[in-house]
Structure 1
């Protein structure tokens, strides 16, 4: 079984935000450089046209091949926007915690740590795209929370943001979680069915409870405990000082 963009109800993202305004080394991250969001593959054409008109030049899609196969690029494929699929998880059915007991904020923090350590090369590629895109870059996964949150954290670390500000940005997704789940249910349900997966294994309703901060705090804490420099896995995978410098230069441009 498969589904296509034509079979989905197009809708606006419910977890989209510009990272501009966050304090970084030397000042404040400027607006219209990086946008984090939930899935834009089934956003409306009107929204896609607006984003391009406002300077969107590149999209980094962090979803797995199975997810991309269901919805493709969506309306943005009609516009001159560079597209980069950089899966942080190759098989979501294997990486996602099983059962309600697995979907704790602590379990998600462990998963984030694994993403940084196991998908460092993809994260480095993403940072290089942001550093050199001729306009704004949007990056997304399905919910705009987990994979998107990891890339946002790595970018903000490279820009010199504090752990507190990184966690605060991540936590902004919390109030949007119910709307995210409702918007994604048709796509994720179709994907699990296409993969022959029992959807009862993936009860993520527990993520609506408690404070989200725990997951990102845990990832940052464990990265520092294990590596000293939380960007060490990315540096080992090729993140250069030149890329970090370029990112900081772009972040400060008027």
Structure 2
């Protein structure tokens, strides 16, 4: 049977999402993450009809949507809504405009982005714990996504890999793989994000996100450092929110294979 990993390899290009990849092969404690368990992506609502069918045929059983209600309202769920795929809407923010100033140009650097990630883990720990639990219990492949597949998706990917015992360097390496995809992502997102920003009173062209010339891996390293500095364990907010050892053990049982 064709696997998810086969379908999203070099010979498979989704019609619209441009930041979709299986986390399989990432080194974790005791081996590597098995392919066909966890897939990270940008907005899956934009997937084409044929590609949606291929993903389901290849084993996609569950979708975790990390977008806000406003984003879902604009684009919906797309063709994958027509398939018997479990859907979990677990927004990590109430509004895409959280933290934005109400006047003047807006620019943040990678350190500030990492600090925002850490606050997101703390404020949305319950949703993130639920997401990790869904991945641990899902019968097939789980795809999780936001709009760009970098920030909210990157936070969940990092916490999932932490739960499996991945090193900081491997977590950062996965996060950084999004960087070359950003021009295509931004081009695809512009109509939706422009509409959302207009609702909030912002002009998308006036916003300058991640203006620093530093490499983007600074964001993820900052998130991990801030969480450990405040909690000791970067997973502590999720553990407090209900992520238990039994769930992590179940996740490891289905996700870790010898490297």
**After TM superposition, is the score higher than 0.5?**
yes
1:138 corresponds to: 143
Is it true that 1:83 corresponds to 2:77 in the alignment? no
1:215 corresponds to: 219
Shift of 1:210: 3.0
- Please list, as runs of the form range in 1=range in 2, the aligned pairs for 1:137-156 lying within 5 A after superposition: 137-156=142-161
2:100 and 2:61 map into 1 onto residues whose CA distance is 31
State which drifts further: 84-93 or 99-108.
99-108
Q: Is 2:96–2:196's contact at 8 Å kept on the other side of the alignment?
A: no
Structure 1 residues 28, 100: closer, same or farther in 2, change over 3 A? Answer: farther
Structure 1 residues 190, 30: closer, same or farther in 2, change over 3 A? Answer: same
Normalized per residue, the structure richer in helix is 1
1:211 and 1:235 map into 2 onto residues whose CA distance is 30
1:105 and 1:47 map into 2 onto residues whose CA distance is 34
1:178 corresponds to: 183
Is it true that 1:188 corresponds to 2:188 in the alignment? no
Partner secondary structure for residue 44 of structure 2: coil
Q: Is 1:100–1:206's contact at 8 Å kept on the other side of the alignment?
A: no
Q: Is 1:97–1:107's contact at 8 Å kept on the other side of the alignment?
A: no
Q: Is 1:15–1:180's contact at 8 Å kept on the other side of the alignment?
A: yes
2:165 to 149, 152, 160: 160
State which drifts further: 101-110 or 19-28.
101-110
2:206 and 2:164 map into 1 onto residues whose CA distance is 38
2:203 and 2:180 map into 1 onto residues whose CA distance is 28
1:242 and 1:125 map into 2 onto residues whose CA distance is 14
Q: For structure 2, which runs of at least 5 residues remain unmatched after alignment? A: 1-13
1:100 and 1:41 map into 2 onto residues whose CA distance is 30
1:4 corresponds to: none
1:229 corresponds to: 233
1:54 and 1:129 map into 2 onto residues whose CA distance is 19
Shift of 1:240: 0.5
Is it true that 1:42 corresponds to 2:64 in the alignment? no
Q: Is 2:106–2:206's contact at 8 Å kept on the other side of the alignment?
A: no
TM-score for both structures, normalised by structure 1:
0.91
1:94 corresponds to: 98
1:27 to 31, 40, 56: 31
Structure 1 residues 157, 104: closer, same or farther in 2, change over 3 A? Answer: same
1:3 corresponds to: none
Shift of 1:96: 4.7
State which drifts further: 91-100 or 122-131.
91-100
Is it true that 1:113 corresponds to 2:115 in the alignment? no
State which drifts further: 49-58 or 189-198.
189-198
TM-score for both structures, normalised by structure 2:
0.89
Partner secondary structure for residue 92 of structure 1: coil
Shift of 1:226: 1.1
Partner secondary structure for residue 93 of structure 1: coil
Q: Is 2:19–2:148's contact at 8 Å kept on the other side of the alignment?
A: yes
1:101 and 1:64 map into 2 onto residues whose CA distance is 20
1:247 corresponds to: 251
1:45 and 1:51 map into 2 onto residues whose CA distance is 10
